[in-house]
Amino acid sequence: MNSFLKSGFQFHRDVIGRDRLVSLREEAGRLATKTGAACLRGIRQRSKTFNQLATDPAVLALIPKGFEPVRSLLFDKTPEENWPILWHQDLTIAVEEQIELDGYGPWSVKNGVPHVQPPVAVLEKMVTARIHLDDAGADNGALRVIPGSHREGKIKSVGDSRDFSEIESVCECRAGDVLLLSPLILHASGRSKSPSHRRFVHFEYADLNSLDSALKWQEK
């Protein structure tokens, strides 16, 4: 994990085999058809297939020991849902209920689930695994990151028009690759120039003991 700690991201190639990818794409299609959503939250609770994927030994082998899955999402960028994402950090977590505590806030509600910005110490003990079900190249909305930016903690102002082109890294992935990210790393993605499916599963893992004992992770 040394390179991950330094840069805030790390590639793992060909983690998911071709046969497994077929079944995962079918399950993603089933959920998308059922919900009509391009961004679907709580997929571990909706799908046995994705719940098993979150704790698959091949995936857990990439995650720090003792970390457990605490949030799950499915994203798809299609010709109809081809939106750009501006530079940001993933600063919110999902919990069971809102409890006012020092260092936690602001609060929000997404799909009926309370979300909150926790202290940086909590985010520093989290890792996101993006499991790619389709290729994500530079022309298909691949993620862009600023290496090392996770070490700056919460960045108050990024600026929508700020130019990072000289220092950004483009995270081109093939189907079956897993991209690990710190939630604190600055990241963005542009519109796809040749839009097709760009599905990936987003699992967040955390040290459960890092959260204030008054709160509970929503997916635990």
pLDDT tens track for 82-123 = 677 889 999 999 999 999 999 999 999 998 999 999 999 999
Contacts of 106 (CB under 8 A, 6+ apart): 116, 117
Given a cut of 70, whether residue 79 has pLDDT beyond it is: no
CB 190 within 8 A of CB 83: no
Report d(CA 125, CA 67) in Å as an integer: 8
Query: Which of these CATH numbers, 1.10.15.40, 3.20.190.10, 2.40.128.130, 2.60.120.620, describes 2-210?
Result: 2.60.120.620
The predicted-structure confidence for 139-179, as pLDDT tens digits, reads as follows 877 899 999 999 999 998 775 556 677 789 999 999 999 99
Of residues 212, 43, 218, the one with CA closest to residue 113: 218
The DSSP code for 124 is: T
How far is residue 31's CA from residue 135's CA, in Å, rounded to a whole number?
Answer: 20
Q: Residue 184's closest CA among 212, 155, 158?
A: 155
Instruction: Map out the domains of the chain as residue ranges.
Output: 2-210
* CB-based contacts of 104, cutoff 8 Å, min separation 6: 116, 117, 118, 119, 212, 215
Q: Tokens 């689930």 correspond to what residue?
A: 113
